Structure 1
Amino acid sequence: MTTKEFVKNFYQEKQNILYSTFNYQPQYRTLVSTKIEELNLSEIQTEKLKEVISDLLTDTFYTILLALDGSASIGNSQESFKIFDENDNLISEGGDLEGYAYEYFHDN
């Protein structure tokens, strides 16, 4: 896996979570989608809530990626991490994620 694929997978996971949060079909229900449905929001309110949750997920995933890259802190600690795949291939050595993270989470 490349650095870009690693970041892209984080972005896809964010999109999957957002989709499942507002999917009310019985076979795809989650605890969160059930709670949102129980709010009986109007279509406009639902769209606003979806925007808020999307922004929250973007901020969360983006911050995690930057923290792994050494550009942000995790808790009270800021350091860069080397990321390897299961075959010990280097995915990121610190400083590699930030550009792709911005591209996927803020340019999309």
Structure 2
Amino acid sequence: MPEEDFVKGFYELKTDLLKRYFSPSQDEYFGSPIAKMIESLDVDSSETSTLYKILDGALTDALYTVLLGLDGEASIGDNNQQMYKLFNEAGNELTNSGEIESYAWEYFHNPK
């Protein structure tokens, strides 16, 4: 898996989570507890839009920071910034090239 596909997977995770949070399922197994909490707020569409933007921003911050942390460009918790080595299934290193940081910016802050 190349660096771009790795980062894209995190971006798709964010997109899927937001979709699940704002599309409650009646099925207990597949339904998201967060979706049920949002639904229970019984807010109007403007407030729902604001809540969506808040959660979108929070997930972006969290996932973007994790990706940069794995690439050694940000700290992960307690100001512990260090380099990590992450390898794909073919044994190719994904970190230490700066590609994760570049793709993370592209996907999370400048989506296509």
**Count of residue correspondences:** 108
Q: For structure 1, which segment, 93-102 or 5-14, has the greater mean C-alpha deviation from structure 2 after superposition?
A: 93-102
Match of 1:49 in 2: 51
- Confirm or deny that 1:7 pairs with 2:10: no
Q: Output the amino acid matched with 1:24.
A: P
Offset of residue 87 of structure 1: 4.2
Alpha-carbon RMSD? 1.3
Aligned match of 2:16: 16
Partner-residue secondary structure (3-state), 2:81: coil
Q: Give 2:37's aligned residue.
A: 35
Distance in 1, matches of 2:97 and 2:80, equals: 15
Q: Which has the higher strand share?
A: 1
Q: What secondary structure is seen at the aligned counterpart in 2 of 1:52?
A: helix
TM superposition score normalised by structure 1: 0.92
Off by >6 Å, runs of 4+ in structure 1: none
Q: Is the 8 A contact 1:81 1:94 kept in 2?
A: no
The structure carrying a bigger helix percent of its residues is 1
- Residue 66 of structure 1 corresponds to 68
Q: CA deviation at 1:94?
A: 4.9
Q: Distance in 1 between matches of 2:99 and 2:82?
A: 14
Shift of 1:91: 2.5
TM-score (norm 2): 0.89
CA contact (8 A) 2:7 2:67 kept: yes
Q: Which runs of 5+ in 1 are unaligned?
A: none
8 A Cα contact 1:82 1:94, kept in partner: no
